[in-house]
Amino acid sequence: MQLKTFIPENFLILIVDDITQNLKLVGQMLGEAGYNTTFATSGFQALDRLKNNKTDLILLDLMMPEMDGLEVCQVIKNDSKFQDIPIIFLTASHEEESLVNAFEMGAVDFITKPFIKTELLARVKTHLTLKHTTDILKNTLLQLEELSQLDSLTQILNRRCFFKVAEVELNRAIQEGKIFSLLILDLDHFKNINDQYGHLMGDRALITFTSAIRNYLREGDYFGRYGGEEFVILLLDTDLEGGVKIAQDICRLIANVSIPTEKDDLKMTVSIGIAISEPQDSRIEDILSRADKSLYQAKAQGRNTCFADSLKPT
């Protein structure tokens, strides 16, 4: 939703006041301006309304029995699901301490009774516009953060992000006495693919390769691009036997992948080196080094296979 044209019908406003007459008055003002509204006559009812509706802004009476506006505001601001909803207090009081407390609780504004329609609508529109702009900015930042973590071609973790994640998991494994398997994968004879079919088809091969593996891996496994045609996989809570089993599955999976081209069907194979984390490991590079040596052995055995320390080619 873009705010180049402000459309009140796109917003839902929750009005909270224990006096029904005030609810009707404010509701009428907002309704005539095109806003969608919902009502609550108590703090407890307001919290229930929030759970059942996607609320864009709250108009909250300051003085209410049982649970006053400040208490309601505090509950909302302490809940991560609702804390970003702007709250405007409705009050007949001009007491400075109450207003200061309201802002300290997280209110963005206040409107004094008796209500002036032009003022109420102006403040409501201002804070809805600000909230929407803030939401767009947050979403953009999240997207930028996600992009900074992903390889631009394959959309899996880039090298830098994979290393960060792997270091965290290594520390966790050390603290909790767990292990994980680390796989280094090399797409066999990738230079030949580029030379024979061109770089665009080479890119397509990398995308197809990573997509097939990503769809196979378990939720919680980490998959990243190590560089060029080399990739890395971190398998949580997976011993050497389990790591080898998954590597064998990936070898068979990739061997069955076929990409139609103008010349023929492009076939791929992969070589995989496997290592597991050990209690003495203090750096992820230590495990990667062992996995890389295993990868060298897999290639030496003719490729299209996987290899792990102390194991025969599989």
Q: Which of 229, 241, 278, 285 is catalytic?
A: 229
Q: Is 66 a catalytic residue?
A: no
Q: Which two tokens stand for residue 297?
A: 């052995």
Q: Name, in order, each residue with C-beta under 8 angstroms of 169's C-beta and a sequence gap of 6 or more.
A: 180, 222, 234, 236
Q: Angle between the 284-300 and 159-176 helix axes, to the nearest 10 degrees?
A: 110
Residues 134, 59, 139: CA angle, nearest 5 degrees: 15
Compute how many other C-beta atoms are within 10 angstroms of the C-beta atom of residue 104.
Answer: 11
Please state, in angstroms and rounded to a whole number, the distance separating the CA atoms of residues 268 and 253. Answer: 10
Please state the φ and ψ torsions of residue 14, each to the nearest 5 degrees.
Answer: -95, 125
- Cβ(296)–Cβ(309) below 8 Å: no
Structure tokens at 168: 């965290």
Phi-psi region of 281 (alpha: psi -120 to 50; beta: other; left: phi over 0): beta
Instruction: Compute the residue count for the chain.
Output: 314
Sign of the C-alpha dihedral computed for residues 202, 208, 211 and 216 taken in this order: negative
Q: Which residues contact 3 (CB under 8 A, 6 or more apart)?
A: 129, 132, 133
227 exposure class (CB count in 10 Å sphere: 0-12, 13-18, 19+): exposed
**Catalytic (active-site) positions:** 229
